[in-house]
Structure 1
Amino acid sequence: METGRVINKRYLLQRLIQQGSASSVYQGVDQVLQRAVAIKVVPAEQIPVYRAAIRATAQFSHPNIIGLYDLIVEPDVLYVVQEYVEGDTFETLLQSHLTPYYVADLGMQICQALLYATTSPRKVCHGDLTPASILRDRSGQIRVNNFALSTDMYYFSNWSIVGGNNSIISDPEIPLGQMSDGRKDDDVRAVGLLMYQLLAGRSSDATVVEPPADGRLRFQRNVPAELCDVIARTAIRQHPQHITTADLLQAELKVILDQLEPPPPPVTIAPAPAYKIDEFSASSKHATSGALRDRNLSEATYNDTRARLAAMQQERDAGTTAADNISMKLAAARPAAYAAPELPARRINLPLLLLIGLVLFILFFVVGYFIAHSLLP
């Protein structure tokens, strides 16, 4: 199959993502909806298996399961158009050296997908839960693919040495994906094997974990004993407390997750500038405390941080109070120091003004009379 080809006048093949024994997977573009898609190219001999799987899972809609978009049938090939998930393959997860907390969380998310698939009216078992079926998207969500497809017999035959009880697949006579107690046990055991591979002792650059030759599980030193026990009970069929269903495994992992809280993110408190003493108000202190709580800090870390914040606030409050007192005293002293002296009020003497006006009128009249007689003979 050549890249650059357009399928059904809509889906452009861009690049090969994965070449498997039963199909090839390409990254493509839906030219109608303008979105990235994953396109499985299925050869003619595998078409009946894929069509049956798609009929069983066409209505699936779950955040931990990769969605199906379209199906294009041609005489000698089948195109399965799926949601494109950008993220990490299981091989990348192995090299990431995940902590026990995140491995337990991964197992819980896979259990949620299995529980959804086996719930009425779906009642579908996975049957091929291998590393190739697991992806982690950029938000940290685990996405499960390849429900109800043919079982990878080579993979499960190799891992049957680990508590397989000489059984590779349960109920081989019933159709692929059809639910039974044995099939549900197979899927849950496959989850245990995946978790073990992520926590097994191995070299730092390993991209694949091989089954131990003696069938004994060997974990890294930092794995809690409780998690080792749960994985062993899941993977080893002959264990007296063997975990056979996804709901039981999910409950066990939930208890472990509650005990293995992830480490809190580092908190850095920058000192406030001296010229902005009033910025650290009571409301901002409460907002900072709320943000710290939202980050899931441990109680000791939170109390220590709150004590430091309270001490900083007391120092700033003290400085602000002293400055406010000085400002108030200066403001009170300014009117006394700079106010102009008050002048006594003056009353107007109306009779005196009238008398002065009359005298001035008589004076101007007399002067005018003498001037007129001296100029006119």
Structure 2
Amino acid sequence: MPLEGKILGGRYEILRRLGGGGMATVYLAQDQFLQRQVAVKVMNESLSHDRDFVRRFAREAKAAAIMSHSNVVNVYDVGREGSVHYMVMEYMEGASLIDLIEGRGALSEKEAVSVTIQICDGLAHAHEKGIVHRDIKPHNIMSTAGGQFKLGDFGISRLNGASTITQTGFVMGSVHYFSPEQAKGRNISHQSDLYSLGVVLFYMVTGKLPYDGEEAIAIALKHLQEPIPDPRLWKPELSEGLCHVITRSMAKSTDERYQTAEEMKADLERALTGFWQGTQPFAIPPEPEITKYGLSEGESSYSSGSIPSRMKKSGRNASRARRPWQRKRLWFAIGIALLLFIFVVNAIQGAGNDPIEAYRDPVTEQQQADTGDSEGPEEEIQTEEPEPDREKADKKPEEESAQGNPAQPPEEEKPENEGYNWQQDRPSGADNSSFRSFSRSGSGGSYDVQVDVNVPPEQQVRYDVYLSDRNGKQTVSRNNPVQVDGDGQNFTRVSFPVSSDMPDGDGIIKIRLYRIDPGSDSEVDATEYLLEQIGG
């Protein structure tokens, strides 16, 4: 149903349609009370009876409402009129980042770094509020008329938690900007947003996506398995510092990735000012010479797996060009075989063409000389068996096994369930001067936590989540903020959601609570509580 000319909420006059998608349509409207133009996001009427979409729409409004930052699109109001659910937002007069790149092509390094720094500021604010965006892409980065960039569309964000690759039948995030943990359908953290921002930065400076394909599942697998392409294959003039930021933000492991948006921003600022000091993140291969047999000897292969078009060959030459090491290995093997053959022939000739004489055991000859035995008939030499080594026969089985006796069966492997002793990681659950009366509800990796907290107003409360099972102890997430409104004199009851991966078999999931001393940035009053135990 067209809304142009209608007034929502008694104050927002719909002027014209700005754009839309499968979930909502965005209109330009006039706020008659404040006399300013706003953007009104209206849920498509066909979805207004779907509870999941209504919840998702409300979640976006809730996530945006608790934020107030110059690099986050502001949400002014939210309402419902009949079957029409709408959200009133700041009107962004400039183009979206995707429109900018598609219209102009790759951005300059300086411009791309400036945009990324602004989005880092917006993400740092969102993460501080406990919000993971989960859908960072150029389509959700918009600009004002003055060129300021802001992050919007928190429709699939979550507070202090994560989600799987799909929810209510929809992909959570855009596959070209997926983090590896999103592609696995695992619980995600703030670092997933930083990975996606690294992909956006790669796209801004090259005009190309690092991973592409015809099917979504193929692209997701590339995020999981393929190395990070070198952006200098497309833009050789890119600086070392910028390439380092892209490499680290897109690391497959969250341990190797930036831990916070502030950390990523600091490296970007160093790269922008030219004061970068770091290691070379990529090795640029030399220009290979192409001959009629393929690539010349001494060629270097691109670590990214992306071969420029000038190197794409077909047929027999392409196969030979891709495998120069196989030819070298073949000639090496032939050379070794020839040397062995010459050695054997020389040995036989040196023994007077008597193969038995050439391989006669000198120790046996000496024993025969000591006992006065002559050489004896040839049959005796061929059939004589050495006397059993009684010392070796008396050895214990474990000694023979240690010396590689093939007759000794290998040591039986321990069953998988006899691996790491996860019981030793059970938390004490002890209260202290900052935390007490812990309780939780939920199971299966999704929990609602309640705890009494007593901290000064200027201090932050954070928590880590750990998982221990037969495979060892691993970190699920770290430095998650908890919103606390306390006076530092009394305990305040705090509730917040926590998400976690599940143990592989028997194991435990635990939470570690602590507060941060602003003077030293040190952790104070850390304590651990049990979230769930599986088996054991």
Fold similarity call, TM over 0.5 = yes
The alignment yields a C-alpha RMSD, in angstroms, of: 2.7
Secondary structure of the 1:39 match is: strand
Task: Summarize the alignment of residues 118-197 of structure 1 with structure 2, pairs less than 5 Å apart.
Answer: 118-119=127-128, 122-147=129-154, 149=156, 153=171, 156-160=174-178, 164=180, 167=183, 170-171=186-187, 182-197=188-203
Q: How many residues align?
A: 241
Partner Cα separation in structure 1 for residue 140 and residue 191 of structure 2: 18
Tell whether the 8 Å contact from 2:202 to 2:210 is kept in structure 1 after alignment: no
Q: Higher helix proportion, which one?
A: 1
Of 62, 67, 79, 2:74 maps to 67
Tell whether the 8 Å contact from 1:234 to 1:244 is kept in structure 2 after alignment: no
Partner Cα separation in structure 2 for residue 148 and residue 260 of structure 1: 38
Tell whether the 8 Å contact from 2:191 to 2:254 is kept in structure 1 after alignment: no
Secondary structure of the 1:27 match is: strand
Provide Cα deviations, 1:245-275, integer angstroms capped at 9, x if missing partner.
Answer: 21221111121122189xxxxxxxxxxxxxx
Partner Cα separation in structure 2 for residue 19 and residue 255 of structure 1: 38
Secondary structure of the 1:87 match is: coil
Q: Higher strand proportion, which one?
A: 2
Provide Cα deviations, 1:39-79, integer angstroms capped at 9, x if missing partner.
Answer: 00014132211212322331321110111111111342211
Task: Summarize the alignment of residues 10-29 of structure 1 with structure 2, pairs less than 5 Å apart.
Answer: 10-29=11-30
1:102 equivalent in structure 2: 111
Tell whether the 8 Å contact from 1:201 to 1:218 is kept in structure 2 after alignment: no
Pair 127,41 (structure 1): closer, same or farther in 2 beyond 3 Å: same
1:323 equivalent in structure 2: none
Of 108, 114, 117, 2:123 maps to 114
1:53 equivalent in structure 2: 60
Pair 166,147 (structure 1): closer, same or farther in 2 beyond 3 Å: closer
Pair 90,111 (structure 1): closer, same or farther in 2 beyond 3 Å: same
2:326 equivalent in structure 1: none
Is 2:245 aligned against 1:230?
Answer: yes
2:84 equivalent in structure 1: 77
Partner Cα separation in structure 2 for residue 21 and residue 168 of structure 1: 25
Q: What's the CA shift for 1:170?
A: 4.2
Provide Cα deviations, 1:325-351, integer angstroms capped at 9, x if missing partner.
Answer: xxxxxxxxxxxxxxxxxxxxxxxxxxx
Pair 32,101 (structure 1): closer, same or farther in 2 beyond 3 Å: same
Q: Residue type of the partner of 2:146?
A: S
Partner Cα separation in structure 2 for residue 210 and residue 23 of structure 1: 29
Partner Cα separation in structure 2 for residue 231 and residue 195 of structure 1: 7
Q: What's the CA shift for 1:228?
A: 1.5
Tell whether the 8 Å contact from 1:17 to 1:27 is kept in structure 2 after alignment: yes
Is there any run of 5+ residues in structure 2 with no aligned partner, and where? 158-164, 214-221, 277-536
Tell whether the 8 Å contact from 1:156 to 1:168 is kept in structure 2 after alignment: no
Is 2:229 aligned against 1:211?
Answer: no
Tell whether the 8 Å contact from 1:125 to 1:183 is kept in structure 2 after alignment: yes
Tell whether the 8 Å contact from 1:25 to 1:41 is kept in structure 2 after alignment: yes
Secondary structure of the 1:232 match is: helix
Partner Cα separation in structure 2 for residue 149 and residue 222 of structure 1: 37
Partner Cα separation in structure 2 for residue 248 and residue 225 of structure 1: 17
User: Which range moves more in the overlay, 147-156 or 84-93?
Assistant: 147-156
Runs of 4+ in 1 over 4 A off after TM superposition: 213-216
Secondary structure of the 1:223 match is: coil
Q: What's the CA shift for 1:212?
A: 3.8
Pair 201,6 (structure 1): closer, same or farther in 2 beyond 3 Å: closer
Partner Cα separation in structure 1 for residue 237 and residue 212 of structure 2: 19
Q: Residue type of the partner of 2:16?
A: R
Q: Residue type of the partner of 2:237?
A: N
Pair 232,129 (structure 1): closer, same or farther in 2 beyond 3 Å: same
Partner Cα separation in structure 2 for residue 170 and residue 30 of structure 1: 42
Larger Rg belongs to: 1
Q: What's the CA shift for 1:106?
A: 1.2
Partner Cα separation in structure 1 for residue 97 and residue 240 of structure 2: 24
Q: Which has the higher contact order (CA 8 A, sep 6+)?
A: 1
Is 2:248 aligned against 1:248?
Answer: no
